[in-house]
Amino acid sequence: MGGGCGGYGKNDSNKDGDVTLADFFRDIQDGGGAGYSGARFGGGTGSSVLDDNNDMYVSEAEYMRGQKAHEANQREGIEDGRFGNAYRDSQNILSKFSNKFGALPRGSIRQEAALFEAGGPEYGSPIETKNAARFLQGFAGDARDMAMAPVRAYRGEGAPPDPVGTPEQQAISYDSILNTGSSQFDKLPKDRRDAIIRGTQSLNSRLGRPMAMPVPTVLDNYFDYNTSEKDDYIVRDNGDGTYYVKYPNGAEAIHDLTEITNLGLIPT
């Protein structure tokens, strides 16, 4: 079976050699938009731009870069900011509701942990469920504890959990909606965390290449042609065809060469 509404479910997300309805349901649960997974839910067309390292996972760091650029574009009245527009276009009514509800996409906790392991805090972020989703998780967790009480009494308190198999199986087993976030992940035994991270990287062979965030170089020969005064703006070349811009009012954004040229921030 191929396809799915809105472009969802076109990829073999569970790596079973066939694209089925199960792939469609996984694609709508794992965030990022159609064909992608992510640290937030998405439903629009901007994921391919936000996914800076092309690992098919839109990380929290990548979302934050787009969000900050979008907010700066709004403050400055900019209509054509690449990353800001991509962030705007990555959202629709359903994804905005899911994110505001506070839910986390399936698999996002362990994928952020794998990125943190690969590149540190600049790449993998401590994400948590919040708002109504956190409340419902607490309620469901209490109900689960009550239901499991007879089992714990039979097996003995503190009995080790049943083994869950390969690292890939352990990674998938951690996708429960009752997982509240990175703080819970950090409480797992180290060998279990390591196995989940290995399994996550095995399931997504592209994951683990950190987002391209080279140390920027300040270009002192940039200035605002509208005022002919230097230092009104801070512009840094990211080395990948994009430029970091800090506006006089403190707003920050990422732009390409055309965009900073349109702002009058061109080399002298």
DSSP 131-179: HHHHHHHHHHHHHHHHHHHHHHHHH-TTPPPPP--SHHHHHHHTT-TT-
Maximum Cα–Cα distance across the chain = 78
- Nearest residue to 112 via CA among 48, 232, 30: 30
Handedness of CA 138, 141, 146, 147 (dihedral sign): positive
**How much is the pLDDT for 2?**
35
Q: Which residues of the chain have pLDDT under 50?
A: 1-5, 143, 148, 151, 213-230, 268
Q: What is the DSSP string of 74-92?
A: HHHT-S--HHHHHHHHT--
pLDDT score at 157: 55
Assign 3-state DSSP to the chain and report helix, strand, coil percentages, each to 5. Answer: 45, 10, 45
Alpha-carbon gap, residue 210 to 123, rounded angstroms: 6
Spans of all domains in the chain: 5-106, 217-267
Token pair in block for residue 224? 């605002």
**Structure token pair of residue 5:** 């509404």
The pTM score is 0.70
pLDDT at 223: 43
- Give exposure, 88-121, as e/b (b: 16+ Cβ within 10 Å): bbbbeeebeebbeebbbbbbbbbbbbbbbbebee
What is the model's pLDDT at position 35? 85
End-to-end CA distance of the chain: 57
Give the per-residue pLDDT at 173: 87
Counted residue by residue, the chain has a size of: 268
Q: Are strands 222-224 and 252-256 parallel, antiparallel or unpaired?
A: unpaired
pLDDT of residue 241: 67
Query: What pLDDT score was predicted for residue 61?
Result: 87
Q: Which two tokens stand for residue 210?
A: 């950190």
Distance from C-alpha of 68 to C-alpha of 87, rounded to nearest angstrom: 9
